[in-house]
Each structure stands twice: as structure tokens, then as C-alpha cells.
Amino acid sequence: MVGKTLKGGLIGCGFFAHNHLHAWAAVEGVEIVALCDRDEKRLREAAEKFGITRLYADAAEMLAKEELDFVDIATTVATHRPLVELAAKANVAVICQKPFAETLADARAMVDACKTAGVPLMVHENFRWQAPIRAVREVINAGTLGDIFWGRVSFRSAYDVFSGQPYLATEERFIIQDLGIHILDIARFLFGDVAHLSATTRRVNPAIRGEDVATILMSHESGATSICDCSYATHLPEELFPQTLVEIDGAKGTLRLNANYQMTIHADGRTETRDVSPKLLSWASRPWHNIQESVFNIEQHWADCLTGGREPETSGADNFKTMALVFAAYESAVNSQKAIDVRRMA
């Protein structure tokens, strides 16, 4: 596929898809040639904004009529399995937004369907693609911290996410499924796969249905212990949405990714602070620019993998392990923080 322009079709032209489309316009070697949404108003709005003329209300029709190299599924979770299976059946490579699946059985079925069809599958798990998180990973890779024995990945905010994404207020499950999933994936990215996990949850905001606070304790196969904590009920003097803060203790030193993308490394008796702020892309807006840059990064990664015949970092099979942490956390929380052996879920 070297040198070829990949033709993509996007399914689901809602709130977040506009970030996908802005980013695709900047990704090298890709053209989004068709859009699909069963809501005509949303379809037309995206079409006009991005100058895309081949429009469909039905994904099956789009797949039948267009010659696509991939589809980008940006719908909410309930439609992921039928749409991924549809693409697999049409022999078209798939990117699917997070949360990948409503159940682990669905996640397994989608991974199997794409494997059987021989089509690449990537989950749009973009938080690990944020520039500050990549900067943290580079310090780990360099060995500066030595053997890592403890970490914390933290997201605490009171930002109103419900106005842009109203479904987040009405779903039975909220913060772990929507946001914790990113935080758990970052923990896997930094500290490796997980052996055991226990969790607590609670709902503080009475106006929503699901939990808005979660604290998850994990033991990693590497021997490290980590805490993932997330909250949409935390009123801080400075609202940090959508920043993820990271703390790492290693045998040789420590790392702190503090507020406003300031990363401090203390090792070998020296302390250094680096500004690891994300770029403000031309189409991005604060405070979302960190997430928006990561959308570009993951899409460019997909294009590179598809043209180079490589497995994407957050392939369906990889994301299955993050999904297992999500379901394990809910299972632990409803069972008085029972320790869950995550490996039995694989």
C-alpha cells in the first residue's frame, strides 16, 4: 500500500466525530471520501463543514457502494459490535471508538470477526497518544527511574461533560466506562499488564445515573503497584480538565506529571522540570487541545500501520485487556472491593 491514498468512510457524525474529521484532513496519505449518519441533520452539518459529498444514512449501503480501505466508527458503544461485524464482513479495515464494547463477550466477538476476515482492527484509545503521556513513557524507556515499583494515574475534575455528551448523564455506568477506560489504558501503557485489581465507586452528583468517582488499585505483572483515580465531582481551585496527572516512583528516581503539563524528574541527585505541553493545532481549542492532538496522533499511527502492514498499538486484541480492567473494576466495586484476578478474564 506504499504511496497509496487510503480511502476512509466515517460512521457517526456526532459531537466527537468533528475532531476525527479535522484530524483526518491533516493526516498524510488519507482521504475521508464518505460519511454516514442515521441522523440527517448531523450528516449534513458534517458534510458541509468538511466538504464531503458522498453521504449515507445506512452503513451497509455505504460499504456496498464505496470502495473503502477502512471505516472509522465514531458512534456510541451500543452500535459498535454490529458496525464492526458489518465492516469485517465487507473485508474493510476498522477503527472503532472507545468504549470498544458493552461486554467482554462483544469485545471478543469483534476481535474474532476481524481476525477471521483478515482485516486490521484498531480501537480509538487516544489518551496514551497525548504528547505529555508519550513524554512520560520516553523517560521510562530511557531507564532514568530504574525499576518502577509504584505509580498513580489521576484525573480529577468538575468539568461539565454532560452538555456536550448528554448520554453520559443517563447511562447506568459512567466514569469507569467513559473516562476511567483511558486512565486504565494509560496505566497499562506505562506499567504493563495487570494481574489483580480492586476498586471502589460512588455517585456524588445526584443529577446523573452512574458513578462519577472511582478509585482502582492494581498489581501489575511487572511487580509494580498502581492507583488509577478519577472523578467528575472534584471542585479544585484550578479546573484541570482534561489533564491526566501521573506519579511514578522507581528504584533510581521519581517522575511527576503535574498540572499544566509540567513534568518533574528527580534522579541521580538532580531535579529537572520539563514543559511537555501538547501543541495547539490550528483547528483545536482549549482545554480540549490535548485530546485533539492525540486524535491526530492516533489517526496518523493508523495510516502508518495500514500502509506499512503493522499491527496498531491499540489493536482490538490489545484493547481487550483494557476492557477487562473496566469490567473487573465494576465487578470489584459491587462486591465490596473484592480482588479480581484479571488474568482469568483474558
Min separation Cβ 165 and ligand 89V, Å: 6
Q: What's the CA gap between 266 and 139, in Å, rounded?
A: 11
- Among the listed residues 7, 152, 242, 254, the single contact to ligand 89V using CB under 6 A: 242
C-beta of residue 200 within 8 angstroms of C-beta of residue 229: no
Q: Residues binding ligand 89V: what is the number (CB under 6 A)?
A: 7
Q: Give, as one character, the DSSP assignment of residue 232.
A: S
Min separation Cβ 161 and ligand 89V, Å: 4
Our finding on whether 36 is near ligand NAD (CB under 6 A) is: yes
Q: Which does 161 bind (CB under 5 to 8 A by kind): ligand 89V, ligand NAD, none?
A: ligand 89V
C-beta of residue 255 within 8 angstroms of C-beta of residue 265: yes
Min separation Cβ 105 and ligand NAD, Å: 18
Min separation Cβ 143 and ligand 89V, Å: 31
Cell of 8: 476512509
Q: Residues binding ligand NAD: what is the number (CB under 6 A)?
A: 26
- Among the listed residues 121, 179, 224, 342, the single contact to ligand 89V using CB under 6 A: 179
- Among the listed residues 119, 161, 187, 298, the single contact to ligand 89V using CB under 6 A: 161
Q: Nearest CA to 243 among 323, 329, 337, 132?
A: 132
Q: Which does 242 bind (CB under 5 to 8 A by kind): ligand NAD, ligand 89V, none?
A: ligand 89V
Our finding on whether 165 is near ligand 89V (CB under 6 A) is: yes
What angle do the packed helices 17-26 and 40-50 form, to 10 degrees? 20
Our finding on whether 79 is near ligand NAD (CB under 6 A) is: yes
Q: What's the CA gap between 343 and 193, in Å, rounded?
A: 9
Q: Nearest CA to 290 among 253, 322, 260, 246?
A: 260
Map residue 102 onto helix, strand or coil: coil
Residues 286-305, one symbol each (x = binds ligand 89V by CB under 6 A, - = not), give -----x--------------
Q: Which does 97 bind (CB under 5 to 8 A by kind): ligand NAD, ligand 89V, none?
A: ligand NAD
Q: What's the CA gap between 178 and 256, in Å, rounded?
A: 25
Q: What's the CA gap between 265 and 267, in Å, rounded?
A: 6
- Among the listed residues 35, 37, 145, 224, the single contact to ligand NAD using CB under 6 A: 37
Min separation Cβ 224 and ligand NAD, Å: 26
Nearer residue to ligand 89V within complex by CB, 208 or 255: 208
Our finding on whether 55 is near ligand NAD (CB under 6 A) is: no
Cell of 104: 467482554
Q: What's the CA gap between 280 and 286, in Å, rounded?
A: 8
Task: Answer whether the bond into residue 242 is a cis peptide, omega within 30°.
Answer: yes
C-beta of residue 70 within 8 angstroms of C-beta of residue 95: yes
- Among the listed residues 37, 85, 125, 178, the single contact to ligand 89V using CB under 6 A: 178
Contact residues toward ligand 89V (CB under 6 A) are 161, 165, 178-179, 182, 242, 291
